[in-house]
C-alpha cells in the first residue's frame, strides 16, 4: 500500500439550519398583541358592567352633617 499525499480528504459540512429567530419573534409579538387586546376587552367589559350596576349614592345634606365631625382646613 502506498500513501498518496496529493489527495486531501474531502469533508462535507452539514448544512446550517435556517435561522428561526424571525419566525419566533413574530409568533411572540403576535401572541403579546392578542393577549393585550383580549385583556383590554375584558377590562372594558367589566368596567362597563360595574358602572351600570352601581347604585347612586344619595347626597348628604349640610344640615345632616355634624359640624364637629367635619375636618376643618
Domain assignments of the chain as residue spans, ordered by start: 24-49
Separation between Cα atoms, residue 21 and residue 72, nearest integer Å: 64
57 to 9, 11, 73: CA distances (angstroms): 90, 84, 25
| Higher pLDDT, residue 58 or 22 | 22
> How does pLDDT run across 16-56, given as a tens digit for each residue?
666 678 889 999 999 999 999 999 999 999 888 766 666 56
Give residue 1's pLDDT. Answer: 53
Separation between Cα atoms, residue 64 and residue 52, nearest integer Å: 28
Q: Which pTM value belongs to this model? A: 0.45
Amino acid at each position: 500500500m502506498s500513501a498518496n499525499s496529493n489527495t486531501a480528504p474531502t469533508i462535507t459540512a452539514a448544512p446550517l439550519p435556517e435561522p428561526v429567530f424571525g419566525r419566533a419573534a413574530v409568533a411572540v409579538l403576535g401572541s403579546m398583541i392578542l393577549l393585550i387586546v383580549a385583556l383590554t376587552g375584558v377590562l372594558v367589559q367589566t368596567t362597563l358592567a360595574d358602572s351600570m350596576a352601581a347604585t347612586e349614592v344619595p347626597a348628604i345634606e349640610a344640615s345632616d352633617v355634624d359640624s364637629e365631625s367635619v375636618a376643618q382646613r
